[in-house]
Structure 1
Amino acid sequence: MTLAMFVGSLLAHELGHALAVRVLAGPGAVEEISAGSPAIFRWGLLCIGILPTWGFVRFDLSRVSPADRRLVAVAGPLASVAVAAAFGVAAAILPMDAGWRQAFLAMAQANLAMAGFNLLPIPPLDGWTILETWLRFDRDRLEFLRRVGAGVVFTVSVWVALWLLTRH
C-alpha cells in the first residue's frame, strides 16, 4: 500500500508540472504524463508504472518561454510539498491505527524529500531545468548533459532502492 501511495505521490508531482504547463501554454500543450516504470496502465495522456523510479511530463517546449519553463519546473516540487502537508495533516487529525499513522508520516517525509531532491541542479531533475534556462550551451551539449544526468539519477535510484530492500 505504501508503494501505491508513493507512486500516487509521484503522479501528483507530475500533475503539478502538467497543470503549470496547461495554465502557461494552454490546452493541448501537454503530450504525456508519466509516473513510475515499467508502464502497467495507460489512459489518454497518462501512463502509470509499478515502481516509483521516474516521472516526467512531455510537452511542447515551443509554447513556453524560459521563464515559464522555470515555473513549470517549480510546480512539481510545490505539488510534492502540498502532498506532504496533506499526509501530515491526515496523520495528525484522522482516526487511524499506529501503523497507518506511521505510513502517512513516512509519506509526508518522502514527499518533502522528493521535492528537495528534485530541486538539485542535476539533469534531468527540476533544479537542472531551472538552471538550464539560464545556460548558454548549444543543444548537443545540453542533450549530452541531460543523458549523463539521467544515467546518474537512474543508477543512484536503483542503488538506493536495492540498499533499502537489503537493510535488516
Structure 2
Amino acid sequence: MATTNQDWSTPAAMAIPETGYFEYEQGRYGPVYPRTPANYGFSIVAKVKPGREAAIREHGRVIQAAVEQDPTVLASLRLHYLRWVLFDIGDGLTFQYQGIFDTDFDKYLEDALDLFLSTGITTAFVNLEGFPEDWRTDRAAAIEFFRTHQFPSFLEYGEYPYVTSDEIKKALRLKAAFSDMLDEMQ
C-alpha cells in the first residue's frame, strides 16, 4: 500500500508494485501512476535508430541553448530533474529519458507535445525506433509510444518528499531574502 504521509521534513521511500500503481485507475491514456516521495516521473527506454547518436547528442545542446536563451522555456513541464542516457548492452544503442516532475504522467505528455509544437523545437524522440513520423499531427500515436516505452520504477525515495519545484524555489527565494536582510543588519 502507498505511504500517504506527505511531511517534507521526514525522508520517505515508496516500494511500487510491478504494475507501476497500487490500484488500477484509468487516466486519459492509460493507468494513473501514483505520486511518490519523488513526485511524478517516468523512464522511457527505446532503441536508437541506426546512425542517430550524434543527432540525439546535438538535441541535448539544442535544449541547453533554449534554456540559456529563455530559462522558462521548459517551465510548463513543471520539471525537477531530467536525465538523458545513451547506452549499449550489446544489442545496439538505447536511449533512456528519465524525468521527475509535478504533474501526472498524462498531463506531462500533453504539456511536452504542446511545448514542442509551440516552440518549434523538435523532440529527441524522432531519433528512436517506433516513434511516429506524424507525431505533430497524431498526438494519440505519440502518447502511445510513450506509454509503450515507459518502465515504471519499483522504488522511489525523497530526501524532502512530496515537495513541488515551485515550493522549492519559493523556499530558496525566502532564504535569499532572509540572508539579504541579515546582511543589511550588520
Same fold? TM cut 0.5: no
- Rg bigger for which structure? 2
Instruction: Name the structure with the higher helix share.
Output: 1
Provide the TM-score with structure 2 as the length reference.
Answer: 0.28
Give the number of the structure with larger relative contact order, counting CA–CA contacts within 8 Å between residues 6 or more apart. Answer: 2
Provide the TM-score with structure 1 as the length reference.
Answer: 0.30
